[in-house]
Amino acid sequence: MPPDTTVRPRTDYGFSVRQIMLRLGTDIPPWGFPPETILDAVHETLYQMQWVDPGPPVRGLELTLAAANSIWRVATRPDGRRGLERCVDETVTAAAREAVRTAPQRAAEHLRVAWNAAYGRNPDPDKAFNEAIRAVEEVACPLVEQKKANAGNATLGTVIGELGKNAPHKWELALPDLGGHPRDVGHVVGMMELLWHAQVSRHGGAPKSRRQVEEEARSVVPLAAVLVHWLTTNVLRKKP
């Protein structure tokens, strides 16, 4: 049998410290980490503090990060877990939170995962894209293509086809144009196309297929949040 390489921190460090070390796969206590892994240690420490009121230590950390003009901030995710998160404009953050609050449960969960994959300490751009699109599909498919959705055949691509080519005359936006009339759906179709066509990682083996990059993920997740919010609050609606 191969040797057991599992890292087992010393028991006298205490439970919380041991958990941090286990999650990072190291036998070095957090206070001995090299500078390049300090942020990882801080992130995992915040994770371990989720069940208690951290009080002044976390507030002090927030002030230190802000004073250093760091790209990271302390955030409490929608699932209640604390951790480091890339700084995002507060207006964008508030809009995403409102989308999560008003969305159906499954769409909201996809948005939460997408947000963390785009802005969290360990970003995963491909996952952010997948979850962002799934969040939009959770509300768009039953709304626009109910029969296909029930059969499991609807995607954001088929929704775009329905709204953009097959039946745009059946839909409108609850946003007035210059004449005070509801706008046509071309605007929301364009937003959906931006999200759908930007996912170049979807077509494995295709000539232009590649992994998504972080900047792309941080662009499409707020876009998905706006689409989910619009679709949930009847901005896209059938014509009377």
Domain ranges of the chain: 1-87, 89-240
Residue 176, φ and ψ in degrees, nearest 5: -75, 150
Q: Which residues pair with 173 in a beta bridge?
A: 183, 236
Amino acid at 115: W
Amino acid 1: pLDDT: 44
* Cα 122 versus chain centre, distance: 12
pLDDT tens track for 172-228 = 999 999 999 999 999 999 999 999 999 988 766 667 788 899 999 999 999 999 999
Identify the CATH class of 89-240: mainly alpha
**Model pTM above 0.75:** yes
* Packed helices 38-48 and 15-24: angle between N→C axes, nearest 10 degrees: 130
Mean pLDDT to the nearest integer, 154-158 = 94
